[in-house]
Amino acid sequence: MQLHSSPPGSRRAAYAKVTFSVVVWGASFIATKVALQDVSPVTVVWLRFLIGVAILGAAVLARSQFALPDRQTGLYFSLLGFLGITFHQWLQSTGLETAQASTTAWIVATTPVFIALLGWLFLKERLGLLRVLGILIAGVGVLLVVTRGDLQGLFSGRSVASGDLLILISAPNWAVFSVLSRSMLQRHPAARMMFFVMLTGWIFTSLLFFVQGGPQEIIRLSAGGWVSILFLGAACSGLAYVFWYDGLQAIAATQVGAFLYMEPLVAMVVAALVLDERLAWISALGGGLILLGVWLVNRVQTPARDMSEY
C-alpha cells in the first residue's frame, strides 16, 4: 500500500533510499566483472548471497517479521529461489565473463518489456498500440546492442557473443520470476519473502559451489575481489532490497519505477571509470532505443518492478 501522504522528511529519506538502491544495482555488473577476474561465477554468486541472506535475515528479525512458511509456500519460495537466484545469477555471472558490463545493463533493462509480453500471453492483458510500438523499438535496440550494429551477421551468428546471449536469456527469466512473485508479495512482507527466496536459491547454488571446488577458489580472491564481493552481498543483495521496499511504502510506485531508468546509465559511467569500457555509438543508440521502448511499454501502466534483478 502506497503512503502518498508521508511527511516531507520521510519522503526525502525514501528518495535517498531508492536512489541508493538504483546506484548500487547499476554498479553491480561492474563489481561482478571485477570479482570474476579471481574466481568462477558460481563462487561469486555463492559468496554474494551468503552475505545477502545474513543481512536480509537480520532485517527481518529486527522488524519482527520472521515466520516460517508452510510447506506449500516453502515449495513456492524454493521455485522462486531457483529461478531468481540460482539460475538467474548463473546466467548473468557467466555471461559477464565475456559480455561488457555496460551493454549487459542495457539488455537487462528490457525486463519490463518481457513482463508486458507475459501479461499479454498468459493473463490476457491488452497491449495497445503504444505498448506494441514500445516492444518493437526496444527489440531493435537490443539487436543493435548485442550485434554492435552488425545486423547482417545476426543470421550467421558471428556477431552475437555468447555472454550477451546469456544476459538476454536472463531478462525473460526475470520477467517470469517477477510475475510469479506477485501473489506472494500480496501475502508476505517483501523483506521476509525475499529472505526465503534468497535462502533457498543460495542453498541450490551451494550444490554447484561444493561440487565445482568453490571452497578452494576463495583463497584466490584478491583485495579488489573481496571488496567487490562485499559490495555485491551487503549493498546489492542486502541493503538495496530493504531500502527499495522501504521507498515503495512512502512513494508512489510510478515514481519509484522511474528511478530504474538510471540503472544502465550508472552502469555505463562506472564501467568506463573502473573497467575502462568504451561504449560504441551504435550500442549507445541501441541503449537509447531500449529506454524509449521500455518507457512506452510502461507509459499506460507504470508499476515499479516487483523485484529487482540485481
Domain range list for the chain? 8-300
d(CA 291, CA 261): 7
Query: Ranked by mean pLDDT, which of 7-11, 78-82, 116-120, 153-157 comes out on top?
Result: 78-82
Specify the pLDDT at position 120. 87
The DSSP secondary-structure symbol of 152 reads: G
Query: What is the arithmetic mean of pLDDT over 288-306?
Result: 73
The DSSP secondary-structure symbol of 277 reads: -
- pLDDT of 223 over the 60 cut: yes
The model's pLDDT over 9-23, given as tens digits with 9 standing for 90+, comes to 677 888 899 899 999
The region that residue 278 occupies, defined by phi over 0 for left and psi between -120 and 50 for alpha, beta otherwise, is beta
Grid look-up 584466490 returns 220
- Picking from 104, 102, 63, the residue whose alpha carbon sits closest to that of residue 195 is 63
- pLDDT of 192 over the 70 cut: yes
The model's pLDDT over 36-48, given as tens digits with 9 standing for 90+, comes to 999 999 999 999 9
d(CA 208, CA 46): 9
d(CA 192, CA 227): 27
Least confident among 64-73, 213-222, 294-303: 294-303
Specify the pLDDT at position 4. 45
d(CA 96, CA 90): 10
Helix axes 190-211, 71-81, angle to 10 degrees: 60
Query: What is the arithmetic mean of pLDDT over 47-67?
Result: 95
The model's pLDDT over 129-178, given as tens digits with 9 standing for 90+, comes to 888 999 999 999 988 888 776 666 555 555 567 888 899 999 999 999 98
Query: What is the arithmetic mean of pLDDT over 244-268?
Result: 79
Backbone phi, psi, residue 69, to 5°: -75, 155
